């Protein structure tokens, strides 16, 4: 109870009171077709001992050199621009249960809970604290809760990675949807993506720190904003679209991973030692008016099948190139590759 009250007192501005779409009656946000889980390819599995979140191999890398960091006991916060993540000196198998409980205590259901990949993802949930608290709402709203809606939904992905020192890195990424009218009569709506909210990511990192034992006074100032920005730009090298970043490998790897989580790609696997993310992507249908693969959340009819790609992160000193490879590892220069590069570059700016 103390931790819960402390978390509520930290949030500056509007409060957070999430209610899972799956926890109430009425239509809920279905998982878009591109986010359904495919059968994992056996070639991505690390051979040897059974895979758990604690022993999943991410490769041996040099210690990270973050832009800024704050240490609170065995928890360190690292940041790059609007992105934040936690570095914790505990094995992942000790953190998996508390992190799962954390999301459930905050009003979410988990649609993905894969310790073998170090990934858990919430369902679409509504922040009920955004509803107007007028006299009508305070009386009828408690009886007819489903009559009120903010027209917004959020979901969060949490990714745990083991680092070279035996600790764990925790990333939280946000994705949002908004319900908009499709005609002047305002009798039909569709759900469309809305921009990622870094402040929500920061707030849940704060709350997770409380859950993991960091005193509330330390949490209040632990995730202050950073003024420095890192360069990231889309360009072409040898007729292949790429993203060029002014970062070394460690920082670029973390930033690209967060961007992939934020922008809706499904990361099926990753190999940090080779700088490779294995992802799925659904190309937008040119015959439909709605842009992107979030356009029809309530229908999976005629869904475009997902394509598998590899996102390669290659560094030379303090400069990194991010490129798109096909499922076989060959350079990709198709229209899809160009779209993927643009999506990554836009989020990294």
| Predicted confidence (pLDDT) per residue in 61-71, tens digit | 333 434 444 55
Contact 245, 319 (CB under 8 A): yes
pLDDT band at residue 260 using 50, 70 and 90 as cut-offs: very high
Give the pLDDT of residue 145. 53
How long is the chain?
Answer: 349
CA 220, CA 223: separation in Å to the nearest integer? 7
The chain-wide mean pLDDT, for the chain, equals: 75
CA 196, CA 176: separation in Å to the nearest integer? 6
pLDDT value at 217 more than 80: no
pLDDT band at residue 8 using 50, 70 and 90 as cut-offs: very low
- CA-nearest of 81, 52, 56, 51 to 67 is 81
pLDDT band at residue 289 using 50, 70 and 90 as cut-offs: very low
Q: What percent of the chain has pLDDT over 90?
A: 37
Give the pLDDT of residue 19. 77
Q: Which residue has the tokens 């978390």?
A: 7
Least confident of 87-96, 142-151, 274-283, 294-303: 294-303
Contact 284, 17 (CB under 8 A): no
CA 268, CA 277: separation in Å to the nearest integer? 8
CA 173, CA 11: separation in Å to the nearest integer? 18
Give the pLDDT of residue 218. 77
Give the pLDDT of residue 242. 96
Neighbours of 67 (CB within 10 A): 16
CA 268, CA 306: separation in Å to the nearest integer? 12
Rounded average pLDDT over 277-300:
57
pLDDT band at residue 174 using 50, 70 and 90 as cut-offs: very high
Burial 295-322 (b: 16+ CB within 10 A, else e): bbbeeeeeeeebbebbbbbebeeeebbb
Phi/psi of residue 8, nearest 5 degrees:
-70, -30
pLDDT band at residue 301 using 50, 70 and 90 as cut-offs: very low
Neighbours of 260 (CB within 10 A): 23
Contact 155, 123 (CB under 8 A): yes
Give the pLDDT of residue 79. 82
Rounded average pLDDT over 198-223:
84
Rounded average pLDDT over 179-185:
86
Give the pLDDT of residue 313. 97
For residue 236, the cross-strand partners are 241
Q: Which residues touch 121 (CB under 8 Å, ≥6 apart)?
A: 110, 111, 112, 155, 156, 157, 158
Q: Which residue has the tokens 């632990």?
A: 222
Give the pLDDT of residue 173. 93
Q: How many helices (H) and strands (E) does the chain have?
A: 7, 16
pLDDT value at 102 more than 90: yes
CA 87, CA 109: separation in Å to the nearest integer? 25
CA 227, CA 114: separation in Å to the nearest integer? 35
Give the pLDDT of residue 188. 85
Least confident of 145-159, 196-210, 259-273: 145-159
| DSSP-derived pairing of the beta strands 75-80 and 68-72 | antiparallel
Neighbours of 133 (CB within 10 A): 8
Least confident of 1-15, 123-137, 158-172, 249-263: 1-15
Give the pLDDT of residue 31. 39
CA 176, CA 155: separation in Å to the nearest integer? 7
Neighbours of 335 (CB within 10 A): 9
| Per-residue pLDDT tens over the stretch 262-279 | 887 888 888 999 999 999
Give the pLDDT of residue 131. 65
């Amino acid at each position: 109870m103390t931790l819960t009250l402390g978390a509520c007192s930290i949030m500056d501005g509007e409060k957070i009171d999430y209610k899972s779409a799956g926890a109430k009656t009425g239509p809920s946000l279905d998982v878009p077709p591109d986010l359904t889980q495919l059968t994992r390819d056996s070639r991505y599995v690390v051979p040897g001992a059974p895979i758990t979140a604690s022993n999943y191999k991410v490769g041996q890398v040099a210690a990270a050199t973050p832009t800024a960091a704050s240490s609170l006991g065995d928890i360190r916060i690292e940041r790059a621009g609007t992105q934040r993540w936690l570095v914790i000196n505990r094995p992942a198998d000790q953190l998996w249960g508390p992190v799962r409980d954390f999301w459930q205590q905050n009003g979410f259901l988990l649609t993905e809970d894969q310790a073998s990949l170090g990934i858990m993802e919430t369902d679409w949930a509504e922040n009920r604290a955004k509803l107007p608290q007028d006299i009508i709402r305070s009386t009828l709203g408690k009886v007819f809760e489903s009559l009120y809606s903010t027209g917004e939904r959020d979901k969060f992905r949490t990714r745990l990675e083991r680092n070279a020192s035996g600790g764990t890195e925790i990333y939280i990424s946000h994705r949002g949807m908004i319900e908009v009218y499709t005609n002047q009569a305002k009798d039909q709506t569709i759900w469309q993506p809305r921009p990622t909210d870094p402040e929500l990511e920061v707030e849940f990192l704060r709350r997770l720190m409380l859950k993991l034992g960091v005193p509330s006074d330390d949490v209040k100032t632990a995730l202050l904003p950073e003024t420095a920005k890192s360069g990231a730009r889309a360009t072409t090298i040898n007729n292949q679209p790429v993203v060029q970043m002014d970062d070394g490998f460690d920082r670029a790897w973390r930033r690209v991973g967060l961007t992939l989580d934020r922008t809706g790609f499904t990361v099926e696997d990753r190999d940090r030692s080779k700088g490779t993310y294995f992802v799925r992507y659904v190309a937008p249908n040119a015959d439909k008016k709605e842009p992107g693969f979030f356009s029809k959340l309530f229908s999976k009819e005629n869904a475009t099948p997902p394509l598998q790609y590899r996102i390669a992160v290659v560094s030379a000193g303090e400069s990194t190139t991010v490129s798109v490879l096909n499922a076989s590892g060959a350079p990709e220069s198709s229209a899809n590759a160009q779209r993927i590069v643009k999506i990554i570059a836009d989020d990294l700016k």
